[in-house]
Amino acid sequence: MTDLHKILVIASGPVGSAQPATSTAETDLTCRRLVEAGKEVIVLTSNPNIFRSHDKHIHYYITPLTTEFVSQVVRRERPDGIIASAGGQIALNVIRAISKNGLLNQFGVTVLGTSPEAIEQTENGEKFRKFLRHQHIPTPESSYVDNAQEALTTAGKIGYPVLMRRGQSRSIARTPAELSSTIDSSVGGGRILIERSISRFKSVQMVMMRDAQDTSVLLGSIESLDPVGVNPANTVVFAPAQTITDRDRTTLRAAARAALAALNIIGCATVSFALDPQSNDWYMLKIKVGLSWTSSLIARATAYPVAGVNTAVALGERLDAVMIGRDHSMTAAIEPGIDAIIARFPQFPRELQTGARLGPQLVAGGAIMTAGRTLESVIMQGIYLLGHDDKRVLSSEIREWDEDTITGHVIQANALRLPALWLALERGFTVRELSELSQINQVFIAAIGRLVDCLSELKTSKDVALLRDAKNFGIADSSIAEVWNMEEDDMRAQRIAAEVTPTYKALDALGLVLPETPTYYASYETENESEPTNLPGVVVIEPNGAAPWLNSAHEAISSTMLAAIREAGCTPILVGSTPRPLVYPGVKHYLLGATQEHLLDIIGLENPIGVICQTAGREGSRIAHVLRRRGITVLGSVPNRHGNRVAPQLQETLTQLSNEDWRICYDPAAAADQMATHLAIDAVADGETVAVLGILNSLEQNESRAGKVIAVTPPRKGAAKMSEQAAAVTVALAKQLQYVGFVHLDMVVSGNTMTVTFIGPSASATVPFLAKTLRIDCIALACHVLLGGKLAEKGISSGLLPQVEGVHVLLPVLRSGLTMAGSSVASIEQMGLVMGSDQTLGKALIKAFAAEHQPLSDHGTVLLEEGTKAGAALAPRLANLGFQIVGMDAAKTLEGVSLIVMDKPEIELRRRATARMVPLLNTVSADAILQVYEARAFALAQLAELSD
């Protein structure tokens, strides 16, 4: 489409319970392909972790991904074309809405790729099921109804169990009582889908690519560990599918091709199927248009550049004319092969790794990926990564489970199912018994059984052949050392002496696609496909923390750091288990957990000039100390493990900084002061100069840490003087501690007392957000100093870096998570972050909540905290704007409540608000927002009475 010059890309928004988002990497790859095609690109996103390119042909808007705001950008920029296939569910929702309201026709904007009409057919459940029936494609019996009574009647006809979908809620009901309960607690409203549950069927997904000339290829197949009924993003999945036959594969591929052709879907699409394990029956369940986590997984597994090809065919190119690979020697019309097994494991915050039931509702907050030659190795790596322990497979708490507890975890899909299966096999359960209890295919359980047997055999044998088998199964040195009752270093030396050492294999579609950013996995075969480059190497550690939302922020930092390392003339070497696509050419990625064993093996092969650990957050600090003990160069400062030793030194410096305006001290315990103003400061230092990236002010009193609460920059309260002093404190302390690299500092301000509660050399989750508020590339600055440069060489002096105008709000995206035993209210889980920017705090807050898809209404019912001075001051202002005010009696159900204003809500109220997606504001934020509403409100009053 050579006549299209300016293309608007709707990028990824926040991850939500029923709104999975694509990786920010997909947006970047899409934009790169558009620029290569000679296009000017406009990117819309609300994600602070988005990669920002230096390419002058790419322009960014930080804006809520809603119909209103996207429409404003369309009117302003007048693009020739628009791409929604890179932005996940939210982008699809927006494109459907703005195509229906006539905006695209009005301005002559072409939707590139799949048409809005086809997207509507796949996204509208009723239309999709009609389409399947018209095409004679098998699909489970289902019906849409308008109310709970009709739902109960329909379920009775279909037969329990049934799948219920309504709004953003998904659940399986096994009885009428369960169905009534799930409908009552559903979020989002709308018609109710009742569908026959096929929960014992295999869950298989086929990732396809199709062009406008009806050439379509199967990029890869994915199979879930758990059967249908558990959202594939909530469970372990494997690529390629492990238990389907060639006949199954051919049948499903043909059905997918026929469906895509009938709908005229152009680009990437994922087609979901259910296969009866006891017959040849199958059903098509869903077609998801565009890029998603499934396409990311296949892109990594096969080296097929899915995002780039998806963009090329959206622009009208033929698959057989699109050339892929590092040397552009292979056509995109191939069906890529794979000579390894890839697994994707869902991540849950550690406190949620319990027996809480997993179902069709998306509750996983992140994912990790493993690769290997054997099914055993990818499962074993996942168990280690999820347990954050490569020494003991099972925790002492799990080993204390009795038989009833084990059976319960095996029967019910939950985050502890893999450990439960392992323990059950150790306790004498058979593979067949466990398969019948769990409905998990025997192939997967048998693989776990071979791991259990291998570790058992190692207890009585140190045979080299058995050791090699154990390593090919992914069993860590630390686990073997534990079994052999010896130190890990001694075990490692013994393994190396026996010539049992890893080789690294590339994921390259059986050698057909040479990737620009190669990914390697460990094997114990003879040929090593990874060779050091001629350039000096720098290893970057990626996180695998217990809080998945933190991973996204640190992944954004490390990914941008890789580009800066490349620009500096070095080879970036990434070590981590990220499932997202790699963006920058010239990067080498070892798809392994950053354990001591793997790092020593990789460093021994690559001989890098150093390792950057600061990008991995707290996990990076632990790794840095391990490497330092080994004499390996860690680039940048490492946190002092005995912070109390430097406290007197810090206090002396802070006393010297005190003046008549500010008393400054150091006290970690002050972080618990909820009444104080909480600040978070990020900086980059070289030991002499300290560049302050920005200062965030937390706007909530229940939690001090920016990133977990609503925060704003520049700080709201006494912004100028307070910011100036906070920056001065950061500069002084970082200089004294001679920090190199990233620096993070927390402090609280109460009256004229400024108390430092934490300072350490690490990149915090707020760095990507602050990077969007700067006029300079702070990640490139950090890379420069980590590689030994000085900030003065870049013309940087100590103090606050130049900021862009406006007020910028960082908002945590909270969604309902797992429901714990004994509770009827789901837990709160942070899924990510969004940001809103404008000229005032109120407008920035309104944008941030719109970006989170919890828009703040300018009318409706407000639950207002009673008996407080702040609440009493807000009440008449709310009433004047037409809000109806209710008290705490409404807190039990939140029925009809559209907004909560409260400074110290109880956790149960927060959970109910999160489950019902009711925005919750404190009085400070409410005041700022009301100022916006009042400024645009018109006077409304009765006519004055006539005088006598």
Mean pLDDT of 28-35: 94
Domain spanning 643-804: CATH superfamily: ATP-grasp fold, B domain (3.30.470.20)
Mean pLDDT score, 853-882: 89
Residue 428, H or E segment: none
Q: Which of 158, 142, 255, 170 is nearest to 204 (CA)?
A: 255
Residue 16 pLDDT more than 80?
A: no
Share of the chain above pLDDT 90, in %: 63
Q: Residue 650's pLDDT is what?
A: 79
Give the SS3 label for residue 784.
helix
How far apart, in whole angstroms, are the C-alpha atoms of residue 241 and residue 249?
Answer: 9
The CA-based dihedral angle spanning residues 262, 263, 264, 268, taken in that order and rounded to the nearest 10 degrees: -120
Burial of 592 (0-12, 13-18, 19+ CB in 10 A): buried
Which of 338-342, 346-350, 904-908 shows the lowest mean pLDDT across its residues? Answer: 346-350
**Is it the case that residue 934 has pLDDT exceeding 70?**
yes
Calpha distance 939→944 (Å, rounded) = 14
Percent of the chain with pLDDT over 70: 95
pLDDT score at 169: 80
Predicted confidence band of residue 190 (pLDDT cuts 50, 70, 90): confident
As a whole number, mean pLDDT of residues 297-301 equals: 93
- Write out pLDDT tens, residues 894-909: 888 999 999 888 888 8
Angle between helices 778-786 and 548-567 (to 10 degrees): 70
654-673 mean pLDDT: 86
d(CA 11, CA 835): 14
Task: Tell me the per-residue pLDDT of 67-98, one tens digit each, with 9 for 90 and over.
Answer: 999 999 999 999 999 999 998 888 999 999 99
For the stretch 906-928, pLDDT in tens is 888 888 888 888 999 988 899 99
Residue the block writes with tokens 């720098």: 538
Is the per-residue pLDDT at 23 higher than 50?
yes
Residue 582 near residue 25 (C-beta atoms within 8 A): yes
Give the burial class of 668: count Cβ atoms within 10 A of its Cβ; 0-12 exposed, 13-18 middle, 19 or more buried. middle
| 8 Å CB contact between 538 and 565 | yes
Q: To which residue do tokens 């190692």 refer?
A: 458
Which residues does 782 contact at the CB level (< 8 Å), separation at least 6?
Answer: 561, 564, 614, 684, 741, 742, 763
146 phi, psi to nearest 5 deg: -100, -20
Q: What is the pLDDT of residues 258-272, one digit of tens each?
A: 999 999 999 999 999
Dihedral pair phi/psi, residue 675, rounded to 5°: -90, -10
Q: How far apart are CA 29 and CA 703, in angstroms?
A: 36
The Cα 305–Cα 320 span in angstroms is 14
List the one residue out of 146, 138, 249, 243 whose CA is nearest residue 196.
Answer: 138
Residue 17: pLDDT over 50: no
- Read off φ and ψ for residue 312, nearest 5 degrees: -60, -45
The domain segmentation of the chain, as residue ranges, is: 6-112, 141-196, 202-228+241-337, 339-612, 643-804, 846-936
User: 202-228+241-337 with 643-804: one CATH topology?
Assistant: yes
- 6-112 classified as CATH 3.40.50.20: yes
Token couple for 578: 């990220």
What mean pLDDT comes out for the span 887-891?
87
Burial 125-142 (b: 16+ CB within 10 A, else e): beebbebbeeeebebbeb
User: What is the length of the chain?
Assistant: 948
Side chain identity at residue 345, one-letter code: F
Cβ neighbours, 10 Å, residue 49? 28
Whether this prediction's pTM lies above 0.85 is answered by yes
Q: Between 25 and 497, where is the model more confident?
A: 497
Torsion of Cα atoms, 116 then 120 then 123 then 128, to 10°: -140
DSSP, collapsed to helix, strand or coil, labels residue 346 as: strand
Q: CA–CA separation, 431 vs 519, rounded Å?
A: 34
- For residue 18, what pLDDT is reported? 44
pLDDT of residue 818: 67
CATH of domain 141-196: 3.30.1490.20
pLDDT interval class at 359 (50, 70, 90): confident
Please give the Cα distance from 69 to 335 (Å, whole number): 39
Q: What is the pLDDT of residue 20?
A: 53
Which residue has 């009193």 as its token pair? 701
Contact indicator for 474, 393 with CB cutoff of 8 Å: no
Q: Does domain 846-936 have CATH number 3.40.190?
A: no
| H/E run at residue 135 | none
> What SS3 state is found at 58?
strand
Q: Write out the H or E segment, with its range, that includes residue 656.
A: helix 643-657
CA 9 – CA 31 distance, rounded (Å): 8
Contact 448, 422 (CB under 8 A): yes
Helix or strand holding residue 345 (H, E): strand 341-347
Q: Count of CB atoms within 10 A of residue 482's CB?
A: 17
Least confident of 289-293, 375-379, 549-553, 846-850: 549-553
Cis bond before residue 161 (omega within 30° of 0)? yes
Could you tell me which residues come within 8 angstroms of residue 856 by beta carbon, excluding any fewer than 6 positions away?
Answer: 845, 846, 849, 850, 899, 919, 921, 929
As a whole number of Å, the CA-based R_g of the chain is 28
**Which CATH architecture fits 202-228+241-337?**
2-Layer Sandwich (3.30)
Residue-wise pLDDT for 622-662, tens only, equals 899 999 999 999 999 998 765 545 567 778 888 888 888 88
pLDDT in tens, 395-449: 888 899 999 999 999 998 888 899 999 999 999 999 999 999 999 999 999 999 9
User: Mean pLDDT across the stretch 197-222?
Assistant: 95
End-to-end CA distance of the chain: 75
Between strands 81-83 and 6-10, the pairing is parallel
What is the model's pLDDT at position 820?
A: 63
Angle at Cα 272 formed by Cα 175 and Cα 150, nearest 5°? 30
pLDDT at 229 over 60: yes
Res 732 pLDDT > 50: yes
426: amino acid identity, one letter = E
Q: Compute the average pLDDT of residues 486-501.
A: 94
Q: Measuring CA to CA, which residue among 623, 666, 682 is closest to residue 810?
A: 682
Structure tokens at 597: 């064993």
What DSSP assignment string belongs to 655-702?
HHH--SS-EEEE-GGGGG-TTSEEEEEEEEEESS-EEEEEEEEE--SS
- Chain-wide mean pLDDT for the chain? 90
553 to 13, 130, 621, 833: CA distances (angstroms): 14, 41, 16, 9
Among residues 753, 769, 752, the alpha carbon closest in space to that of 553 is found at 769
Q: Is pLDDT of 546 > 60? A: no
Determine the pLDDT at residue 349: 65
Per-residue HEC secondary structure of 441-500 comes to: CHHHHHHHHHHHHHHHHHCCCCCHHHHHHHHHCCCCHHHHHHHHCCCHHHHHHHHHHCCC
Report residue 622 CA to chain centroid gap: 23
φ, ψ for residue 662, nearest 5 deg? -135, 135
CATH 1.20.120.1200 assigned to domain 339-612? The reply is no
| Rounded-to-integer distance, Cα 742 and Cα 685, Å | 6
Run of H or E including 512 = none
Longest dimension (CA), the chain: 111
Structure tokens at 712: 């704003």
- Say if residue 668 is preceded by a cis peptide, omega within 30 of 0: no
Dihedral sign of CA atoms 835, 836, 841, 845 in order: negative
